[in-house]
Structure 1
Amino acid sequence: MNRRPRRDPEAISFARDQRARGNEFARDVWQMLRNRRCRNQKFRREYAIPPYTVDFCCVALKLIVEVDGEPHQTNEGRQHDQRRDRYLAERGYHVVRVLGYEVLRNAVAVRRRIEQVIDERIEGRAPSSPALLPRSESEHHSLSPRGRREPE
């Protein structure tokens, strides 16, 4: 008998609340990912991986997409994200972080980057963790697909 482990009811309740209160950026990314719209991969929204709840998760690829708003830009927020990413990586997950404002500025680039990481996961190449999207063209430096700073 192949039964799934029981999910924590508290975590499920929290995830449902998060889905109801999701921000505009997360809603836009969800429209990219839902119903297998991105490389025919199934993503779940506000998926509980106790003790955390992630924005979007493709369970089959162990791929997480996190949409980072203002709270993630503080020192405390970045430290929390690092601890969380480390925890998730230890469990085999790969985290792609998307800056919220970048979703509005350049949704095409956001989608391309997510598709690139999906392709890498499918092909068995593990991208460096966590993956960061390139910064906007208006900034002086961009991040390479591997997350390293490069002058433009």
Structure 2
Amino acid sequence: MTEPNEPPRSVPEEIAFARQQRQQANEFSQNVWELVRARRIRGEKFRREHPVGPYTLDFVCLDLKLAIEIDGKDHFTEQGKQHDERRDAYLRALGFEVIRINGFRVTQDRLGVRNEIEQAIRHRREQQA
């Protein structure tokens, strides 16, 4: 595992896993991808299923170090919560901000999700200024 103070690395296995995840994306991820792809939110470029260290991020803007994670049912188990806490701590140590969005919210409140992402982008820009 990469230590928090080392730069993120990509290895062939992580890239292959990310490709597989993109091909098998669920409805929630597809909906968020439609929101953020092609610089649709505030002109920022997002990647999906992008490896950072030992983890594959659902969506990430590398310029802003902003990660968006879409949480499905597995994230609400005790094991899932612990995994997410370790993952988020690792990413924060690398300077990333992580926002977590409940997957069902993506289909029920698309505008609210878009607004939350826009607010996170503004916040990251302000921090970098």
TM-score scaled to structure 2, two decimals? Answer: 0.91
Q: Do structure 1's residue 113 and structure 2's residue 123 form an aligned pair? A: no
Q: Does the 8 Å CA contact 2:9/2:53 hold for their aligned counterparts?
A: no
> After TM superposition, what 4+ stretches of structure 1 lie above 3 angstroms from structure 2?
none
How far does the alpha carbon of each residue in 1:72-95 deviate from its partner, in whole angstroms, 9 at most, with x for none? Answer: 011110110001000000000110
Q: Shift of the alpha carbon at 1:107?
A: 0.5
Q: Deviations over 1:132-152 (max 9, x none)?
A: xxxxxxxxxxxxxxxxxxxxx
- Aligned residue for 1:60, secondary structure, equals coil
Q: Which residue of 2 aligns with 1:15?
A: 18
- Counterpart of 1:15 in structure 2: which amino acid? A
Which secondary structure does the structure 2 equivalent of 1:38 belong to?
Answer: coil
Q: Which amino acid is 1:23 matched to?
A: N
CA distance in structure 2 between the partners assigned to 1:49 and 1:117 by the alignment: 19
Residues 116-136 of structure 1 show CA distances to partners (whole Å, capped at 9, x for unaligned) of 0100111117xxxxxxxxxxx
1:42 to partner: Cα distance: 0.2
- Give the structure 2 partner of residue 52 of structure 1: 55
What pairs up with 1:113-132 in 2 under 5 angstroms?
113-124=116-127
**2:127 is paired with a residue of what secondary structure?**
coil
Q: Work out which structure has the larger RCO, using CA pairs closer than 8 Å and 6 or more positions apart in sequence.
A: 2
Identity of aligned residues (%): 50
Q: Distance in 2 between matches of 1:101 and 1:109?
A: 12
User: By how many angstroms is 1:6 displaced?
Assistant: 7.2
Query: What is the number of equivalent residue pairs in this alignment?
Result: 121
Distance of 1:9 and 1:43 partners within structure 2:
21
Are 2:71 and 2:100, in contact at CA under 8 Å, matched by a contact in 1?
yes
Task: Give the superposition deviation at 1:70.
Answer: 0.4
Distance 1:71 1:122, change over 3 A: same
Q: Which has the higher helix share?
A: 2
The unaligned stretches of length 5 or more in structure 2 are: 1-7
Q: Deviations over 1:24-73 (max 9, x none)?
A: 00000000000000110000000001200000000000000000000001
Task: Assess, with a 3 A threshold, how the Cα gap between structure 1 residues 38 and 89 changes in structure 2: closer, same or farther.
Answer: same
Does residue 66 (structure 1) correspond to residue 66 (structure 2)? The answer is: no
In 1: Cα distance, 2:10 partner to 2:78 partner: 32
Gaps of 5+ in 1: 126-152
Q: Which residue of 1 aligns with 2:103?
A: 100
Flag the structure with larger Rg. 1
